[in-house]
Chains A and B, each alone.
Chain A
Amino acid sequence: MLLLARLRLRLHSLLRRDELDDQLAGEFEFHLAEQKAELLAQGLSEAEADREARRLFGPVTPLRAQCRDTRRTQWLEDLLLDARFTLRALRAAKAFSLLAILTLALGIGANTAFFSTAYGILFRPLPYPEPERLVEVVDGFSGVGPVTALRTLARSVDYAGYGAPEPANLQLPGESVRAFVSPVSFNLARVLGVTPHLGRWFTAAEERSPNPPPVVLAHHYWRTRFQSNPAILQELILLDEKPHQIIGVMPAAFSFPSPQTDLWRPINLDPRLAGQIWGSGGFNAMGRLQLTATLAAAQSEIRPFAPAIRAQFPWPMPDAYGAAAVVTGHDRAQSEAVRPKLLVLAAATLLLLLIACGNVGNLLLARGIQRHREFALREALGASRTRLLRQLLTENLVLVLLGGAAGLLCAVAISQALPHLFPTDTPRLAELSADPALLLGAATSLLLTVLLFTAAPLLAARLRDSSSGRSLSPSRRAAHLSLALIGVELALATTLLIGASLMGHTLWQLSNADPGFAATNLVAARLSAGPSRCPDLARCLALLDDIGQTLLTQPATRAVHWANFAPLEKELTAAASELEDHPRAPRDPASMLWRTAASPGYFSALGIPILAGRPFTPADRAGAPLVTIISRSTAERFWPGQSPLGKKIRSLADLQWRTVVGVVGDVAQYSLAGFPSWVEGVQYLPLPQALSAAQPSLNLSLLLETADPDWPQALKQRYPDLVIANVQTLGELRAASVAGQRSTATLLALFAALGLLLGIAGVHGVVAHRAAQRTKELGIRLALGATPLQLLRTVLQETVLVALAGAALGVALAYPASAYLQSLVYGICATALAAAAVPALRATRTDPILTLRQD
């Protein structure tokens, strides 16, 4: 009650300040009048009574201030007054305000946008209950068999498995589309702690059912393909021509293991499929720690399972199987690939923020020096030091608020653009949004700078004896401080530049790396059809022929080629193999050979040189002697100094020896940066001999020499159930393969440019300010006969020294990247000089008479 009354009183005193002040004056007047009347009655004269009454009362002005202070609203009134004053002052100093606000906006904006992105991808808790208890197994136990065995054996973790989405043909009324299906363990939903939006998830029995398994839809797929129809449950859909029942729809936020996933199906543990269950890779184990278990317990438990799991394989496995398995946090495993990149970019934005802080600090410092006289005057007139400090703080607060508001707009704009700068396969990209907490963080760091730079000149002023404050020259210390700041800024900008150019260099190298194929206009497309189109090998090959003939009826289409995958499609295709002259102990790991299946015209169409032997010919048919072609580096690795022609290679899957009939140039089949480290060589197989006789399927890459962008039309008419996807030229495929590096390089270049811009603005500001302060000195020098050139040297000397020191420091910071620093260092010095030159030149045009008359 009392509290409420007090609050009302405060509000009252705030809103009716003038009225209260009048009342206060009236009260004092009344008191003095009563006292005077009493004194007059005692016989004092009018003048004496007046004087005595005032003496008895005490000093009116401080008492009035004391009374006002009891209202406890004075600070607020001061604040409002200061803020009003600040806005006026900022309007007056337009250049200063604009520069400071823009700098702050840039620093805060870039940082907030970037840190929220990095945070969103790296550190934000996963959208599952108790995400810290989710673990992932890496470097071991991949595959349906091993993961399922692990699930049975493990005590401290509830393990489930998931596979990357695999393409399948989904037949919808009127059209066939490609759908991506992720195979999962039935307990995945339990492990992740998610419940379906509609219907239900899989049961344990469905993993072992001989019937086609049911499927669960991803929310986005349900929305786009099935118009969010709730009656979809229990309906059948045709996946690769087999009916599957839809039993559930997952919530919108659930995109596991990747946003690409359209459907989930349970794994099939039918014992008759042992070969598939134990032979398939690409199926990973993840799990949830049991209530009392720790990550350490899970880790110590897992490796001892290796012998038990190895024994379950239908074929002998290497002794080292599973020995390297590691249990790690699920969030960490998910973002492992982008982590270094994001950390580099986060460091870059931090540097940018530091540079921005340095700039604003310098601006404030310069302004503080300019206003030295104003503050000395106000102090002499009785303003308390705390009052002055409070005003400075208010001014800077207003500045930060304005800058922060502009920065927020920047951050929103950048955040909108950022997801487009990252490759679409970046995990958790869809969840991103600018985080208010991080905005607060960036604003706080800037606020701290401002506070620091406010307090510094004031304390410096306190250190100086205020009695000798007649000397109105700027403090030397402040000048040194601002020069030091410039140096640090230039150092940071140098570091940024070096980082950016390194990344640019990497990108340049990658983009200019020889992919091994010359054709860039060849159109690649993925063609797939249901099993009925490829019931056996002969009919499958006939289909390929017919597709080729159909396409060639179009006049603009010159040639049709086939491969299992186009180069740089980022698909893994490799086989454990044994090579002649390289005997292998039964339990040693086999050599992994990259395996591309290609039609006869493949090499000439892509411009891949035949270095020895011959390319494939139409005679390399299904029944003909098995042949293979290897790449140059494979030949050099396995048969150095001798001809590989006639040597034999067999895959451990079919154990059939294939004769090497040719050697071709190296091709970047996987990525421009090379193959995964475990790939030891590359072999090509003739397409008819590569297609499995038992289970042929049409899921191939079509390579087309055509000038007609509408080429799919004829094919669609003839084969309505055929799915044509990922239509891209090889040039586009190649550009897309370095999208990740390109985004990093672009962002870094952007940051470096901004950093340099801020650095230049900083150098310019400081030199201009220094020159302006030294106008008098320069004028005297000119009057004494100094030449403009000498003056120029005087002004530039400091800047050059600072720029050199800054660049040197930057180089030291970026020392690991010292490959081609020299040119950059020259660049920094030249830039700093250029920035300093304009104000320096202006200084040389000083009119001595005019400047000497200034004071």
Chain B
Amino acid sequence: MSRPSDLIQGTLDLLILKTISHGPVHGWAIAKRIQQVSNDVLLVQQGSLYPALHRLEQQGWITAETKPSASGRVAKFYALTPAGQKQLEHELNQWERLSAAIALVVEPA
């Protein structure tokens, strides 16, 4: 289990927002989905997801709702708020500009 690089760690918010944008999910599912979608490349320490989630919640970008999960246990499901939707678009924009810029620098002309 390799440590994710700092760059990727910094974009944890973006990953979470993007994951949640598909519909309400609980913390464990978010961790799983990030892992699956990124083909096990982006491995975050599962616990560190939660401070990020709570921060996003305090910012008003996501809301939480407690309800039974598929396994029958009660879980906290997170969903995007309209403000969170805007924030996601903003962060995606940022990310695209950043990766384009990096591509320009890294790829041979």
Contacts and interface: CB of A to CB of B under 8 A. Distances in A.
Task: Check if A and B associate.
Answer: yes
Interface of A: 2, 5-6, 9-10, 13, 23-24, 26-28, 30-31, 33-35, 37, 56-60, 63, 66-67, 69-72
B71 A9 contact: no
A666 B15 CA distance: 102
A6 B60 contact: yes
A50 to B, nearest CB: 15
B80 to A, nearest CB: 14
Contact of A2 (B28, B71, B83): B83
B76 A26 contact: yes
B50 A28 contact: yes
A267 to B, nearest CB: 74
A30 B51 contact: no
Contacts of A34: 28, 69, 71, 73
A63 B58 contact: no
A60 B50 CA distance: 11
Interface stretch (B3-11, B17-25, B40-48, B96-104): B40-48
A69 to B, nearest CB: 8
Given A23-B76, A31-B46, A67 B58 contact: no
B58 A60 contact: no
A30 B73 CA distance: 7
A72 B59 CA distance: 11
A30 B26 contact: yes
B58 A72 contact: yes
Given A26-B74, A27-B50, A35 B28 contact: yes
A37 B50 contact: no
Contacts of B59: 6
Interface in B60-87: 60, 66, 69, 71, 73-76, 83
Nearest to A4: B60
Given A30-B26, A30-B69, A31-B27, A71 B50 contact: no
Nearest to A29: B73
Contact of A71 (B45, B58, B60): B58
A63 B55 CA distance: 12
B51 A63 contact: yes
Contacts of B46: 31, 35, 56-58
A58 B69 contact: no
Interface residues of B, number: 24
14 contacts: A9-B57, A9-B58, A9-B60, A28-B47, A28-B50, A30-B69, A34-B28, A34-B69, A34-B71, A35-B46, A56-B45, A59-B47, A63-B47, A63-B48
Nearest to A5: B60
A33 B73 contact: yes
A261 B20 CA distance: 81
A697 B26 CA distance: 104
Nearest to A53: B46
Most buried by A among B45, B50, B66: B50
Given A2-B60, A24-B54, 9 more contacts: A9-B57, A13-B58, A30-B75, A31-B46, A57-B46, A57-B47, A63-B50, A70-B51, A71-B54
B51 A27 contact: no
Given A31-B27, A60-B47, A70 B71 contact: no
Contacts of B66: 23
Contacts of A70: 51, 54-55, 57-58
Interface of B: 26-28, 31, 45-48, 50-51, 54-55, 57-60, 66, 69, 71, 73-76, 83
A31 B30 CA distance: 11
Contacts of B54: 24, 67, 70-71
A31 B28 contact: yes
A59 B57 CA distance: 22
Nearest to B58: A70
Contacts of A35: 28, 46
Contacts of A57: 45-47
Contacts of B51: 63, 66-67, 69-70
Contacts of A60: 47
Contact of B76 (A5, A27, A33, A69): A27
Contacts of B28: 30-31, 34-35
A34 B54 CA distance: 20
A24 B76 CA distance: 9
A89 B39 CA distance: 57
A487 to B, nearest CB: 53
Contacts of A31: 27-28, 31, 46, 50
A33 B58 CA distance: 26
A534 B71 CA distance: 117
Contacts of B45: 56-58
Contact of B47 (A5, A9, A58): A58
Return the 10 tightest CB-CB contacts between A and B, nearest first: A58-B47, A66-B51, A70-B54, A70-B55, A34-B28, A57-B47, A63-B47, A5-B60, A31-B28, A67-B54
A37 B71 contact: yes
Contacts of A69: 51
B12 to A, nearest CB: 13
Given A9-B60, A71-B58, A30 B50 contact: no
A6 B58 CA distance: 6
Nearest to B55: A70
Contacts of B48: 58, 63
A67 B76 CA distance: 14
A44 to B, nearest CB: 16
Contacts of A24: 50, 54
Given A5-B60, A6-B59, A35-B28, A67 B50 contact: yes
A769 B71 CA distance: 66
Nearest to A26: B74
A198 to B, nearest CB: 60
Nearest to B26: A30
Most buried by B among A63, A66, A70: A70
Contacts of B47: 28, 57-60, 63
Contacts of B26: 27, 30
Nearest to A34: B28
B96 to A, nearest CB: 24
A31 B73 CA distance: 10
